[in-house]
C-alpha cells in the first residue's frame, strides 16, 4: 500500500512536548486482488494532528472503496489523550451493513459497539444470512468485561464447495 503525506512538523513550544505535527495522508485507490478479493479496492485520506512527547494526538480517517463491487466506507476519529486513553468514534459500512464503535479505552474501558448486517453476502460473497447486535466493553484493562447480544438468521459460510450452516 502506497501512502503519500504532506503537512507540518515543527519544534514544540512547551516543555512537555517534543514535536507538533499536522499531517494529511492520501491513500490512493488500491486493488485488493492480492487479498483474494477481485473487483475490490480502497482509498481515501487520513488526517493526523497533535504533539509527540507529553501530549496526545487526533486522527481523522476517511476511507472508501469496494469489496466485490459493493461500496465500503470507513469514517472515524481516534484521539489519544496525554494519559494514553483512546477516544474512538468509528462508523463503517458496506452496502446495507453497518458497524459503529464509540467510547474510550484507557485504564478503564467504556466502549459501545453495534452491528446491523442484513446482507452478509455484501461483505463477503461466501457468507449468507443476516446479523444484528450490540454490546459494551467495560471495567478495566486488567479485568475487562464484554457484554452484548448477537442475533443471526440463516447464517452460512461457503468454502471449497462446502457450505457450513450455523443453526
Q: What is the pLDDT of residue 62?
A: 79
| Alpha-carbon gap, residue 131 to 154, rounded angstroms | 9
The overall average pLDDT reported for the chain is: 80
Question: Is the CB of residue 110 less than 8 Å from the CB of residue 118?
Answer: no
Question: Is the CB of residue 80 less than 8 Å from the CB of residue 50?
Answer: yes
Running DSSP on this structure, what letter comes out for residue 41? E
Cell numbers at 93, concatenated: 459500512
Q: What is the pLDDT of residues 71-84, one digit of tens each?
A: 888 888 888 887 88
Q: What is the pTM of this model?
A: 0.73
Amino acid at each position: 500500500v502506497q501512502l503519500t503525506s504532506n503537512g507540518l512538523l515543527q519544534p514544540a513550544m512547551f516543555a512537555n512536548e517534543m514535536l507538533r505535527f499536522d499531517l494529511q495522508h492520501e491513500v490512493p485507490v488500491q486493488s485488493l486482488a492480492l487479498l483474494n478479493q477481485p473487483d475490490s479496492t480502497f482509498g481515501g485520506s487520513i488526517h493526523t494532528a497533535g504533539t509527540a512527547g507529553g501530549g496526545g494526538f487526533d486522527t481523522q480517517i476517511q476511507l472508501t472503496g469496494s469489496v466485490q463491487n459493493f461500496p465500503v466506507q470507513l469514517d472515524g476519529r481516534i484521539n489519544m489523550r496525554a494519559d494514553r486513553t483512546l477516544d474512538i468514534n468509528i462508523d463503517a459500512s458496506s452496502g446495507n451493513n453497518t458497524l459503529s464503535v464509540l467510547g474510550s479505552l484507557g485504564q478503564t474501558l467504556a466502549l459501545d459497539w453495534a452491528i446491523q448486517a442484513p446482507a452478509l453476502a455484501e461483505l463477503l460473497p461466501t457468507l449468507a444470512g443476516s446479523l444484528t447486535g450490540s454490546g459494551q466493553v467495560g471495567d478495566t484493562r486488567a479485568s475487562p468485561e464484554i457484554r452484548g447480544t448477537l442475533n443471526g438468521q440463516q447464517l452460512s459460510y461457503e468454502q471449497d464447495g462446502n457450505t457450513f450452516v450455523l443453526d
